[in-house]
Structure 1
Amino acid sequence: MARLELEHTLNERNSHRGSGNIPIEDGIAITKYQNREGWAAIPFIIGSMVGLTLSISSWASNLIVFLKKEFNVKSIDATQINNVVLGFNTLLPVAGAIVADVFSCYFVISFFAFLSLLGMILFNLITTIHCLRPSPCELMGSISSCPSPSRLQLAILYITLGLASLGVGGTRFTIATMGAAQFDKPKNQRAFLSLYYLFFYVANGTSLTAMIYIEDNVGWNLAFRICLVSNVIALVLFLSGKRFYRRKPKVERNPFLSIVHVVLAAVKKRNMSGTFGNRDYYYGSVETTNILGDGPSKSLRWLNRAALKVDGDHEQQSSRSNARSWKLCTVEEVEDLKTLLKIIPFWSSTILVSVTISMFNNLVILQALTMDRHIGSHFQVSAGSLVVFNLISVAFSVLIFDFFIIPIWKKLYPHRALTLIPRIGIGHVINILGLVAAALIERRRLHVVRTHQLSSISIVPMSALWLLVPLGVLGIGEALHLIGNIMLFYQEFPKSIKNSSGAMAALILGIGYYLTIAITDLVHKTTRWLPDNINDGRLDNVYWMLAVIGAVNFGYYLICAYKYRYVEKSNDNPNDI
């Protein structure tokens, strides 16, 4: 409560400095659009996100095919390059968010969207200028001869992938936190995040269907031209909305240095003992003294020493030049670090959920390749396109849950609020049920294989549409737990590092991706569940294993939920879904 009051007070002070009717923020006059909470900026933010997502997902989701067809890269090498790029695409947003917390979201998004544009220009040049890629493979008798790319061609390819990946890192989650920052009320922030991820999944689904179809059946030239136009529109749209965006107050100190500051100050004063009163702590300003005058909280007390004044500290802090002394920090900085430490267990409880989803998404394609994918007598669905149904499920679940179920619940039960922690927990349970469904369907598939005594190259006479059941169920769970976690992180993170809250989801996906590689390799080497031909394996046991992992992780989540206390409480019920 104290932290919420402090942020509100400081916001009021920053927004209304100046004379007359023109608000002043850090010495800069701001427009009436920037001064009010509203949705005027949101079309520019969501529109630019959709354009960038269409551009980014179109090349990233089909990179292996591009490397094999256009650069004659061998399958294993193409997979390794794809793994490196995918790893960068999931971890670079963390760096992008950190930079945005130090500088401003507007600058970071504009700069990295431009880098993404440079990457798309190079992709277009590669597919247009023949000397920038190796010659196509030639069939000499029964042997295919494929020229290897030159060092120059590989260098241009890697520069292209680097620029495009940097574009992902600086925009993907930073845009979301910038959009949420346009609002003061938590209910409006959550409404925006729901709308944002609804359009995000729709854009991803479009890339995985229409754009990949163009790449595979029409040509890379046309596909990359569409991506280039999409990126240009996104960048122009984002820049056009500048007068509507709220300005971020100038950062007086790097928020991440403040975290280090608290730890070092607490360690230096670790030997101090005794009984200390509220006046023994340093608050930094009159506003924080009035609001946090009761002193630091009782939890994680060893950190409180960082704000404890000792002989000489007061004199040092009276001079602005010495105000950044590493011997003393404010109570607010201590409380911000405590908040961050308290949210880490929740963050860690989502990593194994990410592992189960990532492994399933990889294995379900292998299942689909062995099953009947025909719809009718003439149309056959590609194995990779089945995953799109998961994105569709997430998008519809967000739409139904946040825009229909929750409003109806509030009307029927106005005094029984649904909070974010139960929402995330329900998502965990649904995720487990989806894995159980996957295990049962795979058991049925293996039964058909053994009943018909099929060979490794035979198609199992069982419709691949059965796989839509676990894909849909997991999509519902993802709409609840993943987006719920993003909302919780943004809501609970200290204001100084709000942008990094969105990147926590990216870090979860990145760690989950690398753990997926390790677990898959371990299962492959220690069991017979994952042979090269899954018809001879026990993929159902892998799904049961993932369900058990999810159940154990859910128990850990319940412990975290029981111990956790929301940071912000106000009349607006920020913790209410």
Structure 2
Amino acid sequence: MESKPKEVEEVETFSEDGEDHPKRGGWITFPFVTGSMLGLSIAGGGWGSNLIVFLITKFNVKSISATQITNIIFGTNNLIPIVGAFIADSFLGSFSVVVIFSFLSLLGMTMLTLIATMHSLRPSSCPPGSLTCEGPSNFQYSVLYGALALASLGLGGTSFTIATMGADQFKNPKDQGVFFNWYFMALYVANLISSTAIIYVEDNVGWGLGFGICFIANAIGILVFLLGKRFYRQVKPMGSPFMSIARVLVASIWKMKISLAISRDSDYFYADEVFADNTVPTKSFRFLNRAALKTEKDKQFNGSYTKSWQLCTVKEVEDLKTLIKIMPLWSTGICLSITIAISSSLVVLQALSMDRHLGPHFRIPAGSFPVFNLLATAISIFIVDRFILHKLRPLQRVGIGHVINIVGLVGSALLERGRLGVVRAHHLTNQPGTVVPMSALWLVAPMSVMGIGEAFQFPGQVALYYEQFPKSLKSTSTAMMSLLIGIGFYLSTAITHLVKQTTGWLPNNINQGRLDNVFWMSAVIGVVNFVYYLICAKFFKYQNQNV
């Protein structure tokens, strides 16, 4: 990857309590930011990656129900970052948000460790393939969901807020882009560790020890983050950016009868921002310009103008326009996330039914198979950063990711068709829990293809949003990526439920189902979404030409 500059950049003035010291910020903060992210991500991946297996084997939850619960949890993991970003941008700042939510994560890991070690918090064990298993009690479900809620809050509230805080340490967009690539590289390495070593411990040694390791990793992540406090450049919260958006909408509606035909630049309210940002009213979404148009009713007793629910600055209006312009492009990531969510959950069920032996004595845990996706993504990010990144603009990079994702879904459909052929050939359709004589390593190919697609589109989207969003929404910009992933997981749960209710594709015994049709359906969704993406990309114009 691109080498890190040795010098510490000149620092902007962010606050009045020492954060603007010239030695703060820059690459000196990188080990602390990524080190804390590694610890927190290893902890989150340790319980999240193997959650389906935990629910099936320790809580006696049916397979399809386990995937739906897991997708809801993953959706929550990815919706919480927008809450964390809002709190960081509006009230507390990124540092405080990371500290608070990381301690919530630690509390969640404590509860999960207790659940895994205390038999009274779990239902009685059930033999594989048994049709009569004791389900969890309401109390056991309550404790489990409480633990998962805290762990999800902690993981979601820290992940992208840490990314924003790391990018805030740099002034140069190029350095920020390099940071995001390194950040995602470290993120995938953390997930690689949790999806292999920790899952192996959970499956082969004990869930209590596995979750205990996650607890330790979480604690180390908090400690590393706190140790770097004296080096961080901390951006002072600017107040709620969403309140500004609301004011623009209210003011533009309030003045909707006022004509803009003869308005001049001097008729608009700038406050002091015109000198700092050179912002002038643009013609796009011109009806919003009324929110910044000065009238006699807006004038104070002393003849001046101030911000109110009837008068906003030109910059506030233009910031909202920027959001409106980028939202169609952002929305294309929702369907992409739906297909990824469906694929990532079903692959664990496929692996559970296949031969997972690697040699005569070692069997790969089913929950570890997504690691091949992570590994492909991490390697591809390195290659993209080294050889391809400078040749592609963000929109091109994201578009390539869409195409590769579709290819991966087609591969998954073809592979599942082959697996079902083996099931029928060996008459295993009505034998739940029986291993299909087909190597689960066949799953590696389509998963790796989809991992390559993620390497193109996820870092590209985060970098694009960070650069294109208004300054007041920097934390929100990186969390927007997480938001669409969260929405994708929730919608994937709804789609899975709909498919289960209306077709015979998703029975609890997948050997009796048609998972291949689910993958074909996902591929069709991907193709339609890609066409939509091309339309949105065609009409999108970069606001920041450094991107």
**2:252 matches 1:266:** yes
Deviation at 1:536, TM superposition (A): 4.4
Match of 2:407 among 414, 423, 433: 433
Aligned equivalent of 2:241? 255
8 Å CA contact 2:81, 2:156 repeated in 1: yes
Aligned equivalent of 1:98? 86
8 Å CA contact 2:67, 2:346 repeated in 1: no
Aligned equivalent of 1:473? 449
Deviation at 1:487, TM superposition (A): 1.3
* Secondary structure in structure 2 of the residue aligned to 1:192: helix
> What is the alpha-carbon distance in structure 2 between the residues aligned to residue 277 and residue 220 of structure 1?
68
Deviation at 1:364, TM superposition (A): 2.5
Q: Cα–Cα, structure 1 residues 58 and 372, in superposed 2: closer, same or farther, change >3 Å?
A: closer
**2:517 matches 1:541:** yes
Q: Cα–Cα, structure 1 residues 460 and 485, in superposed 2: closer, same or farther, change >3 Å?
A: same
Q: Cα–Cα, structure 1 residues 442 and 164, in superposed 2: closer, same or farther, change >3 Å?
A: closer
Q: Cα–Cα, structure 1 residues 167 and 532, in superposed 2: closer, same or farther, change >3 Å?
A: closer
Aligned equivalent of 1:33? 23
What stretches of structure 2 of length at least 5 have no aligned partner? 1-8
Aligned equivalent of 1:515? 491
Q: Which amino acid aligns with 2:165?
A: M
> What is the alpha-carbon distance in structure 1 between the residues aligned to residue 423 and residue 508 of structure 2?
16
> What is the alpha-carbon distance in structure 1 between the residues aligned to residue 19 and residue 405 of structure 2?
49
Normalization by structure 2: what TM-score?
Answer: 0.88
Match of 1:112 among 101, 112, 116: 101
Q: Deviations over 1:309-354 (max 9, x none)?
A: 11142436966xx834211110110110001111101111111111
Deviation at 1:551, TM superposition (A): 1.2
**2:284 matches 1:303:** no
> What is the alpha-carbon distance in structure 1 between the residues aligned to residue 425 and residue 232 of structure 2?
63
**2:398 matches 1:424:** yes
Deviation at 1:514, TM superposition (A): 1.8
Q: Deviations over 1:120-170 (max 9, x none)?
A: 334445556x5973685599xx9999696584x665555433332221232
8 Å CA contact 2:53, 2:367 repeated in 1: no
> What does residue range 16-55 of structure 1 map to in structure 2 within 5 Å?
25-26=15-16, 28=18, 30-34=20-24, 38-55=26-43
Aligned equivalent of 1:172? 159
Match of 2:349 among 347, 366, 379: 366
Aligned equivalent of 2:5? none
Aligned equivalent of 1:190? 177
Q: Which amino acid aligns with 1:389?
A: F
> What does residue range 272-421 of structure 1 map to in structure 2 within 5 Å?
272-273=258-259, 274-285=261-272, 287-289=273-275, 291-292=277-278, 295-315=280-300, 323-406=306-389, 410=390, 417-421=391-395
Q: Deviations over 1:429-473 (max 9, x none)?
A: 111111122222233334444555554436544332222111010
8 Å CA contact 1:52, 1:234 repeated in 2: yes
8 Å CA contact 1:138, 1:145 repeated in 2: yes
8 Å CA contact 1:40, 1:244 repeated in 2: yes
Deviation at 1:225, TM superposition (A): 2.8
Q: Cα–Cα, structure 1 residues 400 and 30, in superposed 2: closer, same or farther, change >3 Å?
A: same
> What is the alpha-carbon distance in structure 2 between the residues aligned to residue 106 and residue 160 of structure 1?
24
Q: Cα–Cα, structure 1 residues 424 and 317, in superposed 2: closer, same or farther, change >3 Å?
A: farther
> What is the alpha-carbon distance in structure 2 between the residues aligned to residue 135 and residue 420 of structure 1?
49
8 Å CA contact 2:506, 2:513 repeated in 1: yes
Q: Which amino acid aligns with 2:497?
A: D
> What is the alpha-carbon distance in structure 1 between the residues aligned to residue 226 and residue 436 of structure 2?
52
Aligned equivalent of 2:482? 506
* Secondary structure in structure 2 of the residue aligned to 1:380: coil
8 Å CA contact 1:91, 1:169 repeated in 2: yes
Q: Cα–Cα, structure 1 residues 529 and 66, in superposed 2: closer, same or farther, change >3 Å?
A: closer
8 Å CA contact 1:317, 1:323 repeated in 2: no
* Secondary structure in structure 1 of the residue aligned to 2:312: coil
Q: Cα–Cα, structure 1 residues 145 and 533, in superposed 2: closer, same or farther, change >3 Å?
A: closer
> What is the alpha-carbon distance in structure 2 between the residues aligned to residue 190 and residue 318 of structure 1?
46
Q: Cα–Cα, structure 1 residues 379 and 219, in superposed 2: closer, same or farther, change >3 Å?
A: closer
8 Å CA contact 1:137, 1:147 repeated in 2: no
> What does residue range 48-87 of structure 1 map to in structure 2 within 5 Å?
48-63=36-51, 65-66=53-54, 74-75=61-62, 82=70, 84-87=72-75
- Percent identity between the two aligned chains: 50
Q: CA RMSD in A?
A: 3.1
> What is the alpha-carbon distance in structure 1 between the residues aligned to residue 339 and residue 19 of structure 2?
50
Aligned equivalent of 2:4? none
Aligned equivalent of 1:3? none
Count of aligned positions: 532
> What does residue range 150-161 of structure 1 map to in structure 2 within 5 Å?
151=139, 156-161=143-148
Deviation at 1:31, TM superposition (A): 2.4
> What is the alpha-carbon distance in structure 2 between the residues aligned to residue 110 and residue 290 of structure 1?
33
Aligned equivalent of 1:20? none
Aligned equivalent of 2:536? 560
> What does residue range 175-254 of structure 1 map to in structure 2 within 5 Å?
175-251=162-238, 253-254=239-240
Q: Cα–Cα, structure 1 residues 419 and 468, in superposed 2: closer, same or farther, change >3 Å?
A: same
Q: Which amino acid aligns with 1:245?
A: Y
Q: Cα–Cα, structure 1 residues 318 and 60, in superposed 2: closer, same or farther, change >3 Å?
A: farther
* Secondary structure in structure 2 of the residue aligned to 1:203: helix
Deviation at 1:484, TM superposition (A): 1.2
> What is the alpha-carbon distance in structure 2 between the residues aligned to residue 127 and residue 520 of structure 1?
28
> What is the alpha-carbon distance in structure 2 between the residues aligned to residue 138 and residue 539 of structure 1?
26
Q: Which amino acid aligns with 1:280?
A: D
Deviation at 1:83, TM superposition (A): 5.2
Q: Which amino acid aligns with 1:541?
A: N
The structure with the larger Rg is: 1
8 Å CA contact 1:137, 1:144 repeated in 2: no
* Secondary structure in structure 2 of the residue aligned to 1:462: strand
Deviation at 1:111, TM superposition (A): 1.2
What stretches of structure 1 of length at least 5 have no aligned partner? 1-10, 17-23, 411-416
* Secondary structure in structure 1 of the residue aligned to 2:438: strand
Q: Which amino acid aligns with 1:303?
A: L
Q: Cα–Cα, structure 1 residues 145 and 337, in superposed 2: closer, same or farther, change >3 Å?
A: closer
